[in-house]
Amino acid sequence: MAVKTLKWVGGIDGYLEIIDQRILPGEYKIIRCCTVKQLYDAIKMLAVRGAPAIGVAGGYGAVLSLQEFSQKNADRKARRTGRQKTEDRRQRLENSAVSAVKVLKRDCEYLASSRPTAVNLRWAIERIVKCAEKSEGKTLLGLRKAVLKEANVICREDVEMCRKIGANGDRFIKNGMGILTHCNAGALATAGQGTALSVLYEAKKRGKKFGVFVDETRPLLQGARLTAWELKRAKIDTTVICDNMAAALMRDGLIDMVITGADRIAANGDAANKTGTYCLSVLAKAHRIPFYIAAPSSTFDLKTKTGKDIPIEQRSADEIRFCGDKQTAPDGVDIYNPAFDVTPAENITAIITERGVIEKPNGHRVKKNFI
């Protein structure tokens, strides 16, 4: 049974529960997000991560935004005096759905700024905003219900998307294979059972026997901490390796395929994923090993022509200067810490989506996937 990395609890006055991924596997802890600021911090600091998961979280962030708007207006209404007719008029305006949508848009932009590379976050937020704009003529209560309904739909669609990706990718896994993956593209990165790891879960359900090599994924060790934790729970044969061991394993015939997720895929099939993915694609190509990306349609950004146009998030130098609470690099040295790199389409054997498989991806084949 896959873990549930995030869950909305209650109705329009509810809250978002997430697994704090910063402290896995040593500690399993649930965080409760009740405000937009709390959710922004959870996304920014990687308590919740993975492109599909933060997209779903962003949808629920809009629910929190309207919740805060409603509460602030209720507080102001309680402080009103009956003598202030102009104040009454202003309060009625502020309580309207139109004013609420303005605040929602502002808060959604704030949430979107937390992780600029992963396109799912902005995709989900833009979808929520469109839903809210269509509901401007409703009461504030009606608007809040409509936005929560849309956020729940996005979450359910993500669960189904994961299942379909796994079913579409299962055919690439054969008995006895050694499979390499990088970072975490499992249940912890989605609302369902994952993208790249969904392929493995579906293969296991069908009785296939295989082993998985998991890159530790420096600097934050999402592979060693998160993917290995997931696969162990699923009772899949798992071996953690250092990032720089992959080439030797490929040379020695231990790796039969590579599969990763993606945070944004350009119109020509170039894919941004956790830094180190590009290196694996080059190694796989040199050793004639198939290299697969598993990602939902919401990860494609058809407005971005090539990988060169994808914005790459730069993260804190301390993520490299420290490993946990231990300093591993001296003060005063420059540190370069991009969260992602871009794998060119020419290095990708196929992109596995919930709609189907895009073999030898290029601009024409990617576009065809959306027709």
209 lies in a domain?
yes
Would you say residue 252 has pLDDT above 80?
yes
Lowest mean pLDDT among 83-97, 172-186, 338-352: 83-97
Q: Which residue's structure tokens are 């600021």?
A: 37
Question: Tell me: the pLDDT tens digits for 301-351?
Answer: 999 999 999 999 999 999 999 998 899 999 999 999 999 999 999 999 999
Cα 332 to chain centroid, rounded: 33
pLDDT category at 371 given cuts 50, 70, 90 is confident
Residues 188-197, mean pLDDT to the nearest whole number: 97
CB atoms within 10 A of CB 365: 16
The catalytically annotated residue of 256, 263, 270, 301 is 263
Among the three residues 113, 143, 163, which one is the final residue of a domain in this structure? 163
CA distance 232 to 194: 15
1 lies in a domain?
no
Residues 225-244, mean pLDDT to the nearest whole number: 97
pLDDT on residue 83: 47
Would you say residue 77 has pLDDT above 70?
no
Instruction: Classify 10 as helix, strand or coil.
Output: coil
Inter-CA distances, 233 with 86, 160, 236, Å: 61, 21, 8
CA distance 227 to 179: 13
Residues 120-134, mean pLDDT to the nearest whole number: 95
Angle at 155 between CA 11 and CA 148, to 5 degrees: 30
Residues 158-177, mean pLDDT to the nearest whole number: 97
More confident residue, 1 or 357: 357
pLDDT category at 136 given cuts 50, 70, 90 is confident
Counting the structural domains of the chain, the total is 2
Are 218 and 364 found together in one domain? yes
Give residues with Cβ within 8 angstroms of 160, minimum separation 6: 192, 354
Are 87 and 179 found together in one domain? no
Are 301 and 177 found together in one domain? yes
More confident residue, 336 or 81: 336
Residue-number span of the structural domain to which 91 is assigned: 6-163
CA distance 292 to 298: 17
Known catalytic residue at 263: yes
Are 264 and 325 found together in one domain? yes
Q: What is the CATH number of the domain that holds 303?
A: 3.40.50.10470
Are 354 and 322 found together in one domain? yes
Residues 111-138, mean pLDDT to the nearest whole number: 92
Residues 169-187, mean pLDDT to the nearest whole number: 98
Question: Tell me: the pLDDT tens digits for 95-116?
Answer: 577 889 999 999 999 999 999 9
More confident residue, 59 or 135: 59
Would you say residue 194 has pLDDT above 50?
yes
CA distance 57 to 48: 8
Are 46 and 127 found together in one domain? yes
Are 19 and 85 found together in one domain? yes
Query: Which strand (E) or helix (H) includes residue 18?
Result: strand 15-19
What share of the chain has pLDDT > 70, as a percent?
94
CA distance 42 to 57: 10
Q: What is the CATH number of the domain that holds 69?
A: 1.20.120.420
Are 177 and 159 found together in one domain? no
Residues 251-256, mean pLDDT to the nearest whole number: 98
Among the three residues 163, 197, 213, which one is the final residue of a domain in this structure? 163
259 lies in a domain?
yes
DSSP characters for 275-344? TTHHHHHHHHHHTT--EEEE--GGGEETTS-SGGGS---B--THHHHEETTEE-S-TTS----BSEEEE-
Are 248 and 266 found together in one domain? yes
Q: What are phi and psi of 30, to 5 degrees?
A: -100, 130
316 lies in a domain?
yes
Question: Tell me: the pLDDT tens digits for 278-302?
Answer: 999 999 999 999 999 999 999 999 9
Are 203 and 141 found together in one domain? no
pLDDT on residue 137: 75
Sheet holding 300-301, edge to edge: 300-301, 264-266, 271-274, 340-343
CA distance 294 to 164: 11
Are 193 and 140 found together in one domain? no
Among the three residues 163, 179, 201, which one is the final residue of a domain in this structure? 163
Are 143 and 189 found together in one domain? no
Q: Which residue's structure tokens are 């899949």?
A: 236
And the tokens for 194? 């994952």
148 lies in a domain?
yes
> Which class for 145: exposed (0-12), middle (13-18), buried (19 or more C-beta within 10 A)?
middle
CB atoms within 10 A of CB 308: 11
